[in-house]
């Protein structure tokens, strides 16, 4: 079965600093990967997705992610973090059998002024 690991439970960065959130997946074939963001008490918003092709994908709000098959990773990056980016971030992989998503446990991002 597919699985997703987000090693960092909580990350704090300063406003204007760069950001990288880690995501590792377990899956035999080419995975379909997603990053979502959740503000407190809200639903999840899709940031970006990878299905195939170019391994560097661009998303909304200035985020990008890079798919690295050799490392089974799909890390999320942003060159300059804004205070409004403070939220929880979830990586997910599509479960081919059930066609649902399997989520990581999330990384909570705090932004210091």
Residues at the interface with other proteins (CB under 8 A): 9, 32, 34, 36, 41-46, 49, 51, 90, 94, 98-106
Sheet strands (E) in 42-82: 44-50, 56-58, 64-68, 73-78
Nearest CB to other proteins, comparing residues 14 and 52: 52
Q: Which is nearer to other proteins, 44 or 109 (CB)?
A: 44
Pseudo-torsion of CA 22, 67, 44, 83, nearest 10°?
Answer: 50
Phi and psi at residue 42, to the nearest 5°:
-115, 175
Q: Closest separation between CB of residue 68 and other proteins, Å?
A: 20
- Minimal distance in Å, beta carbon 15 to other proteins? 26
């Amino acid at each position: 079965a597919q699985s997703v690991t987000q090693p960092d439970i909580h990350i704090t960065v300063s406003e204007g600093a760069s950001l990288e959130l880690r995501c590792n997946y377990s899956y035999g074939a080419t995975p379909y990967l997603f990053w979502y963001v959740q503000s407190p008490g809200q639903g999840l918003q899709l940031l970006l997705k990878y299905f195939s092709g170019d391994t560097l994908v661009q998303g909304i709000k200035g985020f990008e992610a890079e798919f690295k098959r050799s490392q089974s990773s799909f890390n999320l990056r942003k060159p300059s973090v804004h205070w409004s980016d403070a939220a929880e971030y979830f990586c997910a992989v599509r479960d081919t059998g059930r066609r649902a998503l399997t989520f990581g446990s999330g990384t909570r991002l705090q932004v210091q002024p």
